[in-house]
């Protein structure tokens, strides 16, 4: 797979479809990898007339592993994404991310509106302390240090997903297989902690979001215990003319049950943009 360069950082990415078509670039959440966006989902977007670029954020997957001394921010992670667009020779893209990925997507739209065809923020928040908070149980789980072995990390993942997933959508066997596939591909202890530190040192995005002139879709679930739906509602409130989609049954999930409404909403959003 190709790699883009942002200074000393290398970002692994994969392209589906023809980038002559409208392109969606997708960025994953905390500690996750491009596999958060399965091939089936990427191909479903291709069938709708898009190309899709999925990436590994720094400190995850096959992208660069940093050190605590790097002290990077969401702005740096957003620049990583723009470096991928440059490498793939894509002028403008729909920038979509979940959770941490949504924060990165928001940052790209603010910092690089000329590269942003549209912004899609899923299960994310603005960085303001009074919205988007986690329940105490979810916050405690989020702050646990990375495990030292793959087996321990898989069990930790399953325990955490039980806390912030819809129990009717949670499939332990599928989750175990997904986690194993992630860590067989790449296991980066400490990466999640460095990504979380980047969020904490980046401040809020309220002023930047309020000044956006970018077509925007905000997606959230009312049952989200990791990032409360108030974070999504506040994002949609700040961005002028943003669309808000609440998916029935969704918590902090990115599973097949929520793909059809997401695909339809993104397709409609892009179709509404003047040529």
**23-69 residue pLDDT tens:** 999 999 999 999 999 999 999 999 999 999 999 999 999 999 999 88
Taking the alpha carbons at both ends of the chain, their separation in whole angstroms is 31
CATH number corresponding to 3-133+191-271:
3.40.50.1820
Instruction: Flag whether pLDDT at 83 surpasses 90.
Output: yes
How much is the pLDDT for 60?
97
User: Residue 2: which pLDDT band, with cuts at 50, 70 and 90?
Assistant: very high
Residue 275 pLDDT class (50, 70, 90 cuts): confident
Residue 1 clears pLDDT 90, i.e. is over it? no
Domain coordinates of the chain in residue numbers? 3-133+191-271
Q: At what angle do helices 74-87 and 100-111 cross, to 10 degrees?
A: 70
Distance CA 20, CA 210 (A): 31
Helix (H) / strand (E) element for 4: namely: strand 3-6
For the whole model, what pTM was predicted? 0.97
Q: How far apart are CA 229 and CA 247, in angstroms?
A: 11
């Amino acid at each position: 797979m190709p790699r883009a360069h942002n200074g000393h950082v290398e970002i692994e990415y994969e392209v589906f479809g023809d980038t002559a078509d409208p392109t969606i670039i997708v960025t994953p959440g905390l500690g996750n990898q491009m596999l958060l966006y399965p091939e089936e989902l990427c191909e479903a977007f291709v069938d709708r007339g898009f190309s899709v670029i999925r990436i590994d954020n720094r400190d995850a997957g096959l992208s660069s592993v940093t050190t605590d001394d790097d002290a990077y921010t969401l702005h740096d992670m957003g620049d990583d994404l723009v470096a991928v667009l440059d490498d793939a020779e894509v002028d403008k893209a729909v920038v979509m991310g979940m959770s941490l990925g949504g924060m990165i997507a928001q940052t790209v739209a603010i910092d690089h509106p000329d590269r942003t065809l549209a912004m899609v923020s899923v299960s994310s928040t603005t960085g303001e302390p009074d919205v988007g908070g986690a329940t105490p149980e979810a916050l405690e789980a989020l702050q646990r240090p990375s495990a030292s072995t793959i087996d321990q990390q898989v069990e930790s993942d399953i325990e955490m997903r039980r806390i912030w997933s819809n129990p009717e959508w949670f499939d332990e066997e599928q989750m175990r297989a997904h986690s194993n596939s992630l860590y067989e591909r790449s296991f980066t202890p400490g990466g999640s902690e460095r990504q979380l530190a980047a969020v904490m040192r980046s401040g809020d995005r309220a002023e930047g979001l309020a000044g956006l002139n970018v077509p925007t879709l905000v997606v959230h679930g009312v049952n989200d215990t990791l990032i409360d739906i108030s974070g999504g509602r506040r994002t949609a409130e700040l961005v002028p003319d943003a669309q808000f989609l609440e998916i029935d049954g969704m918590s902090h999930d990115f599973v097949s049950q929520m793909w059809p409404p997401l695909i339809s909403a993104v397709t409609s959003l892009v179709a509404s943009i003047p040529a």
